[in-house]
């Protein structure tokens, strides 16, 4: 009777109410964040419009004192900046939400063309910096949580504060000084070398994202050159976000490690990954034995 009872594994417990609530809370959080995107964009766009109008119209701010008064007044009238402010605001919102960003005051180029020309570089750098932030911030945040209130935790928290507080341009200058000037192992500026720029310019319908264009060419030298030029900017911008990720991961990991189920697992011998693996192995062997 006793052997029969021990040979059967206990049935898995159904999900607890707290687990179901935590899953629902995550989805609710994501839905709320997604719904708040449009109001946030609307508020930011409105703030930009009215703050820009505090100093007058953009044409007068950019060209005032450089053009005769009659020519300046003609340009202001042609752009519609002499109309009531509420009329300009409604038209501004309509143009923004339809993708019409107008033309540049300096050279008359459409803003959409400028975004297509230089937006690829910004997007590419943002992706590189995000990769650096994830690779650096998440593991170090877990290490800081594991060594909570000990010297590794204190050192990593100080590093996170320094990464977040130090201006990006200053970090960029230091990285250039060390790796481009003193060590001379990385390029000092630019998105690619002149040879790679010439190769990419011959590509039909370029995307503006150099890594994708280099992959389309299939030239490993061009791919390596593009990545080599992206290292220093990605590090300079990525360390800023890595400091934020480190603190967030540390806080959430400490909160998770203080949960009741973690304490219960530790009481069963799961003090580390190795002990957990040994405990699970021993349980499986005991359940399979007659």
Same domain, 125 and 163: yes
| % pLDDT > 90, the chain | 39
Confidence at residue 25, expressed as pLDDT on a 0 to 100 scale? 64
Q: Three-class SS of residue 12? A: coil
**Each residue of 156-210: pLDDT tens digit?**
999 999 998 999 999 999 999 999 999 999 999 899 999 999 999 888 888 889 9
Name the DSSP letter for residue 218: T
pLDDT value at 86 more than 80: yes
Confidence at residue 262, expressed as pLDDT on a 0 to 100 scale? 77
pLDDT value at 39 more than 80: yes
Same domain, 100 and 180: no
Give the number of domains in the chain.
2
Residue 103 — φ and ψ, nearest 5°? -120, 155
pLDDT value at 270 more than 50: yes
For 129-154, what is the mean pLDDT? 93
Same domain, 166 and 202: yes
**Each residue of 95-138: pLDDT tens digit?**
888 888 888 777 778 888 888 778 889 999 999 999 999 999 99
Confidence at residue 4, expressed as pLDDT on a 0 to 100 scale? 45
Q: Which secondary structure element, helix H or strand E, spans residue 244, and what is its range? A: helix 220-257
Chain centre to alpha carbon of residue 180: 26
For 24-53, what is the mean pLDDT? 83
| 59-68, 136-145, 226-235: the lowest-pLDDT one | 59-68
Q: How confident is the model at residue 24 (pLDDT cuts 50, 70, 90)?
A: low
Range of the domain at 47: 21-109
Same domain, 134 and 220: yes
For 142-169, what is the mean pLDDT? 92
First to last CA, the chain: 12
- Structural contact between residues 220 and 115, judged by C-beta atoms closer than 8 angstroms: no
Confidence at residue 136, expressed as pLDDT on a 0 to 100 scale? 95
Same domain, 86 and 178: no
Same domain, 86 and 42: yes
Angle, helices 111-146/151-165, rounded to nearest 10 degrees: 160
For 13-27, what is the mean pLDDT? 53
For 3-23, what is the mean pLDDT? 48
Residue 106 — φ and ψ, nearest 5°? -75, -50
Q: How confident is the model at residue 282 (pLDDT cuts 50, 70, 90)?
A: very low
Question: Across the chain, what does the average pLDDT equal?
Answer: 81
- Residue in 21, 19, 40 with CA at minimum distance from that of residue 29: 21
Confidence at residue 290, expressed as pLDDT on a 0 to 100 scale? 47
Same domain, 229 and 142: yes
Same domain, 80 and 206: no
12: in domain: no
Same domain, 104 and 199: no
Same domain, 156 and 87: no
pLDDT value at 40 more than 50: yes
């Amino acid at each position: 009777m006793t052997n029969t009872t021990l040979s059967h594994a206990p049935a898995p417990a159904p999900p607890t109410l707290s687990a179901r609530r935590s899953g629902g809370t995550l989805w609710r959080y994501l839905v709320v964040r997604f719904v708040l995107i449009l109001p946030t964009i609307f508020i930011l766009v409105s703030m930009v419009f009215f703050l820009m109008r505090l100093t007058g119209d953009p044409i007068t701010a950019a060209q005032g004192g450089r053009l005769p008064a009659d020519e300046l007044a003609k340009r202001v009238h042609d752009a519609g900046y002499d109309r009531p402010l509420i009329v300009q605001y409604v038209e501004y919102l309509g143009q923004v939400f339809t993708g019409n960003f107008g033309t540049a005051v300096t050279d008359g180029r459409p803003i959409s063309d400028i975004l297509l020309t230089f937006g690829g570089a910004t997007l590419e750098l943002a992706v590189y910096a995000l990769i650096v932030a994830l690779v650096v911030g998440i593991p170090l945040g877990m290490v800081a949580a594991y060594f909570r209130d000990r010297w590794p935790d204190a050192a990593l928290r100080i590093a996170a504060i320094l990464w977040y507080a130090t201006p990006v341009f200053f970090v960029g200058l230091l990285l250039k000084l060390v790796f481009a000037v003193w060590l001379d192992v990385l390029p000092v500026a630019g998105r690619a070398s002149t040879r790679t720029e010439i190769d990419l310019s011959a590509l039909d319908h370029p995307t503006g994202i150099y890594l994708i264009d280099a992959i389309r060419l299939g030239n490993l030298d061009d791919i390596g050159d593009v990545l080599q030029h992206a290292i220093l900017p990605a590090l300079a911008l990525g360390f800023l976000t890595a400091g934020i990720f480190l603190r967030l991961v540390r806080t959430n990991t400490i909160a998770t490690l203080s949960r009741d189920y973690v304490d219960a697992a530790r009481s069963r011998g799961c003090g580390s990954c190795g002990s957990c693996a040994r405990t699970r192995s021993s349980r499986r062997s005991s359940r399979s034995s007659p």
